Amino acid sequence: VSAHPESRSPNRRERPAKPALTREGIIDAALSILEDEGLEKVTMRRIATALDTGPASLYVYVRNTADLHAQILDELLDPVATMSLEGTWREQLSELLTRYARVLFDHPEIARITMTTQPVGQNYFAIAETVLRLLNEGNVSDATSAWAIDLLLASVTASAVAHGADREQADARNAALLAARLSEIDAEKYPRIATVGSELLSGEGPDRFAWALDALINGILATPRRI
């Protein structure tokens, strides 16, 4: 056993070599920071530090922060885009959108991005393609489908953003409490809120989501486009 551990340092293979900079490496690092610390910490500088380089180096693989976020999203959507579906068109549609929602639900900060910038990744396209195919099987006209897919995906995303489970849930609970308190206090000013009150926050997430999806599909089927 060497008495001089420092003398080993010149050996360049002593510890895993600094990983080569690649698009995949960058997205992996970003995902791991996202999982551990939230989107807020997924910054160019933070990723660069994780990869033992400077922020400027990332700009070879990522155009800017928006592009980085878009790439993260499409990575997350991979399992949804490739899942297998069974049952009637309506069952398949519900299954797909529920799975899609679950990804966004688990990553509400990424879901927010979906709202802001129109996703254009391969996996998002694949999901949209499947939704359109299923609506077509359900005899929804092309014209209606074109508007319906927008409504469906936007509503699912909105629901995920609103009720997403993440570190902000504490804040959300505070807000809910505040809301509950306000509606109690101003029962005269807001009688309907006071009446519906407890129902507003009622129900398990999955039940609420299933109902919303049902209402959306019923609505689409009941509202053929006339223009």
Which residue matches tokens 């660069």?
Answer: 48
Q: Give yes or no for a contact between 105 and 97, defined as CB atoms under 8 angstroms apart.
A: no
Query: CA-to-CA distance for 26 and 47, rounded, in angstroms?
Result: 7
Binding of residue 60 to DNA (CB under 7 A): yes
Nearer to a copy of itself, 146 or 165 (CB): 146
Query: CA-to-CA distance for 136 and 141, rounded, in angstroms?
Result: 7
Instruction: Provide, rounded to whole angstroms, the least separation between the CB of residue 53 and DNA.
Output: 3
Binding of residue 98 to DNA (CB under 7 A): no
User: Which tokens go with 58?
Assistant: 């990332």
How many CA atoms lie within 13 Å of 189's alpha carbon, on the beta-carbon side?
Answer: 5
Q: Give yes or no for a contact between 124 and 69, defined as CB atoms under 8 angstroms apart.
A: no
Instruction: Provide, rounded to whole angstroms, the least separation between the CB of residue 192 and DNA.
Output: 34
Stretch in the footprint of DNA (CB under 7 A) among 1-9, 50-58, 181-189, 216-224: 50-58
Binding of residue 54 to DNA (CB under 7 A): yes
Q: Which does 54 bind (CB under 5 to 8 A by kind): DNA, a copy of itself, none?
A: DNA
Query: CA-to-CA distance for 108 and 114, rounded, in angstroms?
Result: 10
Give the ranges where 3-121 is alpha helix by DSSP (H): 23-37, 44-50, 65-76, 78-81, 89-106, 108-116
Binding of residue 147 to a copy of itself (CB under 8 A): yes
CB neighbours of residue 144 within 10 Å: 17
Instruction: Provide, rounded to whole angstroms, the least separation between the CB of residue 15 and DNA.
Output: 16
Binding of residue 203 to DNA (CB under 7 A): no
Instruction: Provide, rounded to whole angstroms, the least separation between the CB of residue 181 and DNA.
Output: 23
- DSSP letter (8 states) at residue 201: T
Distance of CA 60 to the CA centre of its chain: 26
Residues that bind a copy of itself (CB under 8 A): 112, 115-118, 120, 125-126, 128-129, 132-133, 136, 142-143, 145-151, 154-155, 157-159, 161-162, 171-172, 175-176, 178-179, 182-183, 186, 189-193, 195-196, 199-200, 202-203, 207-208, 211-212, 214-220, 222-223, 225, 227
Which stretches of the chain bind DNA, using CB under 7 A?
20-21, 41, 43-46, 53-57, 59-61, 64-66
